[in-house]
Structure formats: C-alpha cells, structure tokens
Chain A
C-alpha cells in the first residue's frame, strides 16, 4: 500500500464548479498534513496546512479525519487559475520526512 494515495485524475470542471480531492495515508502515527499546488514544470507551493478541526482559506477548505486516515480538499467557485496539480503531503512520524501523494490534476475550463 502506498504511504499517501490520492484520487486519480484528471478532474475537468467548468468555472464556478465545486470540486473535492481525497487523500488517504497509511501511517497512523503521521503528525502533519498539507496540501500543495504544483503548476506545470514549476516547483510545488504550499497551499494550506490541514488541522484536525478543519480549516478554511477563502474558497479552499481542508479536512482531516485521523480515525479514517483521510484528508480532503474542497475548492468552491473554481477559477481558471486553479488549474494545477494538487499534492497531498504527509509528514512521517519519524519526522523530517514529507511524503507526497502522486497528485491530482485539475483543469478548470471556461
């Protein structure tokens, strides 16, 4: 089983749509969780950290379910500029080891 597994993509959605990405992780002792965004041929950039209580940043909402070892990212009112690959990232319990999922590609169309 992969340490971090994401929904296979790509997701093709119209502008204004709501889209949700899911991610599962295998190590129950994992401590920190993040969503990154990666544009084509660019470096990954931190989108948001994920907290147990859930957190929201504008149109983006992240949720963590430790019992199910599941992380989600919801994007509301999608914009063309949201088109990118979204990476689920989990910090290993051993520390200092960020493990990336394979990414889910999102394409927002006019």
Chain B
C-alpha cells in the first residue's frame, strides 16, 4: 500500500463540470506536488507546496486551482476543463524540496 493516496482513481467529467482531485500522504513529508502526464509525453510539473505554501506554479491555466489545507492533504480543483486536459494527474510528496518524491497511483481524468 502506497503512503500517498489519491482519489478518485478515475474521473470522467464534462467541460462545464466542477470536480476536485484529492491527495493524502501518510509519510510526514513537507513537500507535495501535482504533476500531469499526457499520453506519450513526459511528466509535467504543475504545482509545488512546501510547508503548505505554494512555491511553484508552472504556468498552469487558472481552470486548475490547487489547495493545500495542511501538510498531509493536497487538492486540485477543476472547472471548465478542455478535452486536451485529459491525462493522468499524479500527486507526489517528499520529505523536503530537494529529496526524492513518492507518488500516488494517480487519477486518470477524461474530459468529454
């Protein structure tokens, strides 16, 4: 069982819907990340949180809105997405910003 849990595992949403992805880590880590992985493309870093503070927003469109209420939980709020946003969204955590990261199993998102 992974120390980083993501829900839901699969999500299908319409372009006018609002949904949220949830990530929870049980590892006592201080840094959490959202990555996007589209088909046949490398992982793209979206957001970084260190000690609950956002330290990186990698030019992500505003239709993706992260939230980090505490160091164990990370959310990604989605609204008015486009079909090209369909991808695997991966959450990761690390003890601190310059160490290895551990990934959740991802949410496979399909926008219709």
Contacts and interface: CB of A to CB of B under 8 A. Distances in A.
Nearest to A5: B42
Given A96-B31, A96-B55, A103-B42, A43 B97 contact: no
A103 B39 CA distance: 12
Interface string B71-112: 000000000000000001010101011111111111010000
B48 A45 contact: no
Contacts of B55: 96
Contact of A46 (B35, B56, B100, B105): B100
Interface residues of B, number: 28
A49 to B, nearest CB: 6
A32 B100 contact: yes
A53 B92 CA distance: 27
Contacts of A49: 100
Interface of B: 2, 31, 33, 35, 41-43, 45, 48, 50, 55-56, 88, 90, 92, 94, 96-106, 108
Given A42-B106, A46-B102, 8 more contacts: A43-B2, A43-B104, A44-B103, A45-B103, A49-B100, A95-B50, A96-B55, A100-B35
